[in-house]
């Protein structure tokens, strides 16, 4: 059986991942993530 | 030591080496530890696969769960497509191999479990129910509370990071507090609680292999759902398996590998594959292992195994 046939579900999920990723980036969510990540997360370190 | 022996040793410790390399790579901003500051570069657009707090001074990328909650807790409460894209990508490729090979907090638990104690445990009382706890943590602390527990401005909080995540306490909180006196002045009940959670998990890790991954980790709960379909998955070669039980005895998570080689709790440590005397546990996408085939005796597992049989491979 070929690699594609054996991994149909995984490949479909990878395509879905690419779509989600592109949609999220299109909605500017990468900037929300960056903004959160470059500032000290007080909740994460147990202060806020 | 000869080159062959070095190669053999590296092969034997491949997982630990991969864990160390990945932990160093994803926390490569060494200056952050010295200065008590976090990395502020563009690398934080991207998420690492494992639980790696973005407030760790060395972190060069973002935590996927933190990113998911960051989008969920915004005032607009958008569906977190971006973080979900990363989770789907890593999940579809690796499943919980991420937990076994790439997660820095998994490495910490592995190292703690190597410390000798009088008795190591295979499971806790109520194990089956405890293992379901991680799905409750995922639903409650990662998805529902950030959406419904809002402040006066309509903003949620990352509840998992705030009250549970031991990775944030260990890799973010402790190094930053150690090098920042003003932050130490702000310590309160929340840090005491989070430190208690971390200490309890550290103590439990001495006796039980990976208690956080087993019972609490919502990221592991997500990746576990991908185990049966991920590119990295296992199968049992029925022609080789003699149902001897060696895989189950070797499994540090006490899973029945023979029945469920792609169980959602399996972190792909590879212990079962090493333990199988017949090479019956194979990767779905890899060539068959080089272990000698054993003659399958009539009548299944009952009766003595007649020993190795030479097979001519095509």
pLDDT tens-place string over residues B236-272: 999 999 999 999 999 999 999 999 999 999 999 999 9
Contact list, A1 vs chain B (CB under 8 Å): none
- A2 touching B, CB under 8 A? no
- B215 touching A, CB under 8 A? no
Q: What is the count of structural domains for chain A?
A: 1
Contact list, B85 vs chain A (CB under 8 Å): 17-24
Q: Tell me how close the Cα of B205 comes to any Cα of chain A, in angstroms.
A: 21
Residue count of chain A, please give it.
48
B6-24 mean pLDDT: 91
Query: What is the rounded average pLDDT for all residues in chain B?
Result: 89
> Quick one: which H or E segment has residue B139?
none
Backbone torsion region of residue B77, taken as left when φ is above 0, otherwise alpha when ψ lies between -120 and 50, otherwise beta:
left
Q: Which residue of B has its CA nearest to A29?
A: B82
- Chain-chain contact of A46 with B195 (C-beta, under 8 angstroms): yes
Q: Buried b vs exposed e over B294-312: b needs ≥16 C-beta within 10 Å?
A: bebeeeeeeeeeeeeeeee
The CA angle B129-B135-B140, to the nearest 5 degrees, is 115
User: Can you tell me the distance from the alpha carbon of B53 to that of B65, in angstroms, rounded to the nearest whole number?
Assistant: 9
Q: For B18-50, write each residue's pLDDT tens digit.
A: 999 999 999 999 999 888 899 999 899 999 999
CB interface of B with A, residues 224-263, below 8 Å? 226, 229-231
User: Can you tell me the distance from the alpha carbon of B245 to that of A28, in angstroms, rounded to the nearest whole number?
Assistant: 51
Instruction: At B218, list the tokens.
Output: 């919502």
What's B54's DSSP letter? T
Contact list, B194 vs chain A (CB under 8 Å): 46
Is residue B208 scored above 50 in pLDDT? yes
**Look-up of token digits 């976090």:** B38
- B92 touching A, CB under 8 A? yes
User: How far is the CA of B76 from the CAs of B35, B129, B153, B294, in angstroms?
Assistant: 35, 35, 11, 61
> Quick one: which H or E segment has residue B18?
helix B14-26
Per-residue confidence band for B289, with pLDDT thresholds at 50, 70 and 90: low
ipTM score of the complex?
Answer: 0.96
Domain carrying residue A16: 3-45
**What integer pLDDT is reported at residue B171 of this predicted model?**
94
């Amino acid at each position: 059986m070929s690699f594609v046939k054996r991994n149909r579900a995984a490949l479909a999920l990878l395509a879905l991942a690419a779509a989600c990723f592109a949609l999220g980036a299109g909605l500017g969510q990468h900037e929300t993530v960056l903004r959160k990540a470059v500032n000290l997360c007080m909740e994460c370190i147990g202060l806020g | 030591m000869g080159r062959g022996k070095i190669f053999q040793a590296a092969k034997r410790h491949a997982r630990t080496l991969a864990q160390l390399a990945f932990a160093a790579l994803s926390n490569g901003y060494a200056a952050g530890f010295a200065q008590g500051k976090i990395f502020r570069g563009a690398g934080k657009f991207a998420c690492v696969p494992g639980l790696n707090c973005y407030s760790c001074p060395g972190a060069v990328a973002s935590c996927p769960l933190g990113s998911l909650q960051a989008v969920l807790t915004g005032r607009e409460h958008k569906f977190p497509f971006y973080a979900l894209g990363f989770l789907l990508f890593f999940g579809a490729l690796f499943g919980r191999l991420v937990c076994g090979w790439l997660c820095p907090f998994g490495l910490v638990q592995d190292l703690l479990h190597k410390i000798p104690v009088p008795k190591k445990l295979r499971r806790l009382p109520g194990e089956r129910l405890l293992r379901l706890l991680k799905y409750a943590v995922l639903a409650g602390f990662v998805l529902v509370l950030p959406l419904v527990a809002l402040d006066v401005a309509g903003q949620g909080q990352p509840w998992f990071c705030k009250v549970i995540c031991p990775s944030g306490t260990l890799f973010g909180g402790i190094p930053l507090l150690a090098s920042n006196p003003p932050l130490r002045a702000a310590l309160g009940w929340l840090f005491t609680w989070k430190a208690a959670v971390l200490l309890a998990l550290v103590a439990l890790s001495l006796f039980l292999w990976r208690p956080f991954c087993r019972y609490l980790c919502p990221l592991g709960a997500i990746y576990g759902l991908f185990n049966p379909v991920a590119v990295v998955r296992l199968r049992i070669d029925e022609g080789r398996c003699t149902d001897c039980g060696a895989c189950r005895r070797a499994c540090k998570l006490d899973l029945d590998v023979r029945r469920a080689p792609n169980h959602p709790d399996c972190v792909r440590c590879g212990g079962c594959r090493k333990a199988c005397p017949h090479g019956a546990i194979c990767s779905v996408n890899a060539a068959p292992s080089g272990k000698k085939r054993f003659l399958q005796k009539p009548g299944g597992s009952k009766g003595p195994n007649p020993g190795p049989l030479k097979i001519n491979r095509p």
